[in-house]
Structure 1
């Protein structure tokens, strides 16, 4: 069970789905939207995810050209989730919004070439300088084989 919310509690979510993938992203958009060196994302199926409260969306094309929609609380500004046009039916939760951040373990780091020099990247997990060939879909496929 994953549960989380924004800082003020207006936006809340819950899912019983297991994460498809969890990882750190050091791309410029993730750095700027998080206010730190990276975002930690938890990809889950949209089916079974319940969310309460209104969110404001900010849409922007990713490096790939896919449209990323970032959902945040319009009251406190906390980023809560995103969607990516390449991953229909998936929601990418911000691990920072989880009530129990230890419920997930990052499996990889992407766009590590864009990390600031002071960022501590866990070299015991797969680290990709950009997005891995085939993107997260490829990683998910390899895990299920």
Structure 2
């Protein structure tokens, strides 16, 4: 079983199977995910079980497409699903818990890629928190 949850733990999902993960660079997905891209996968709607589903809030981000977020902490839990649901559901890979049997298989809307994300491979990296937070100033 593959599991996911929001930051505060109020909403959880379990899925039996998942597709590969798609990385989306469009502005809406970046904002919904709170990062350089949104990461999403597809599951069969009848193979998803929810805990705390009543804590989800919904936003129609485009005509006919609805995203879901935890109303308590704001974690994106679904991608842009059809307002009139079909048999699949797009779930947010950022909400996945633990290791999963899937990896990123595609990137979309690369022309919208955040410019600040380019060339960051040379940045310092740490296994724990960044030790320079208290010294950061504009």
TM-score of the pair, normalised by structure 1: 0.72
The answer on 1:18 being equivalent to 2:15 is no
Residue segments in structure 2 that go unaligned for 5+ positions in a row: 120-138
Change (3 A) 1:83 1:111: closer
Determine if the alignment matches structure 1 residue 8 to structure 2 residue 8: yes
**Conserved? CA contact 2:18–2:41, under 8 Å:** no
Q: Structure 1 unaligned segments of length 5 or more: list them.
A: 122-145
Larger radius of gyration: 2
What is the Cα deviation at residue 93 of structure 1?
Answer: 1.1
- Say if 2:61 and 2:80, in contact at 8 Å, map to a contact too: no
Q: Which residue of 1 aligns with 2:91?
A: 93
* Equivalences for residues 56-67 of structure 1 within 5 A: 56-61=57-62, 67=64
TM-score by structure 2 length? Answer: 0.75
Number of residues paired by the alignment? 116
> What's the C-alpha RMSD, in Å, of the aligned pairs?
2.1
Deviations 1:11-55 (A, max 9, x none): 011011232x42100011001112211001011110110011121
